[in-house]
Structure 1
Amino acid sequence: MNDNMAVYPIGSLVTASYKTGQYIGEIVEQSSPMKAAVKILAVVKHPTQGDLHNPMDPDVPFFHQRRALAYQEIALMPVQTIRPYEGFVPEYAESLSRALAQELQQLDRAIRFAQRCREELEQLQQEYKL
């Protein structure tokens, strides 16, 4: 059986992706060969904000706000995103706080990078005498 057709026993701890977030959860049902119902226990990566078809574009007609899945929420996850998990399951609120902080740090780094690029390009613009 290949990995994207894996069957996970009920109660298995797994990591799984849903839309743009990643979670630690427990298999509660495998409803089809393509999807499994996962009960959310912790957040690994907070979902990405904005329009996924136009990444990093703040001027899209509809800028999506994506919330993390809630504690013990059950979501149908694509089986190809599910992997076995063998580790400590952090408390949900703590994991959500950590994932949100990581997302904010990445955005802060992107802002600083964009500001630095702008400074360098403005300097080059002066040097080019444009």
Structure 2
Amino acid sequence: MDKHQPGAIVKAAYKTGEYIGETVESDGRRILVKVLAVLVHPTQGDLHHPYDPDAPLFHERKASAYTEKVWVSASAAEPYDGAIPPYRETLETALGAEMEKLDRLKRWAERCLEQLAEIRKDYRL
């Protein structure tokens, strides 16, 4: 089924998240999608200053709600033909994956700081 057709199931990127949803309508260049599942949780913080905890405006981004309707660019949607898992389950999985990614980044930064402290000693600084 064409992604522009009402009732089509699509995978769509919206803001910094990714969702499975149902096409409600289309104006040709955009598709109105009813959210059914979360694949990727939206990114937190300032997108113009990634990974900067001191950015002047640190955004909190929540995932779109179950059955929330969002307009997405037609180019940001593609047909989806897999099973649609329960929204709450996908929200929990996507949130957990985002938190795990950030925890891994935090642990990487801590190891870098440890290594740099050792290198500083080698430099006798």
TM beyond 0.5: yes
Instruction: Identify the TM-score tier after normalising by the shorter chain.
Output: over 0.9
Q: CA deviation at 1:72?
A: 0.3
Instruction: Provide the alpha-carbon RMSD of the alignment.
Output: 1.0
Q: CA deviation at 1:8?
A: 2.0
Q: CA deviation at 1:34?
A: 1.9
Unaligned runs of 5+ in 1: 1-5
Q: Distance in 2 between matches of 1:7 and 1:90?
A: 19
2:12 corresponds to which residue? 16
Taking a change above 3 Å as real, the CA distance of residues 64 and 76 of structure 1, as seen in their structure-2 partners, is same
Q: Percent identity?
A: 48
Unaligned runs of 5+ in 2: none
Q: CA deviation at 1:9?
A: 1.2
Q: Distance in 1 between matches of 2:26 and 2:97?
A: 31
Instruction: Flag as ranges the 4+ runs of structure 1 deviating above 6 A.
Output: none
TM-score between the two structures when normalised by the length of structure 2: 0.96
Matched AA of 1:49: Q
1:116 corresponds to which residue? 111
Residue 80 (str. 1) matches residue 53 (str. 2): no
Q: CA deviation at 1:53?
A: 0.5
Q: Distance in 2 between matches of 1:93 and 1:20?
A: 19
TM-score between the two structures when normalised by the length of structure 1: 0.93
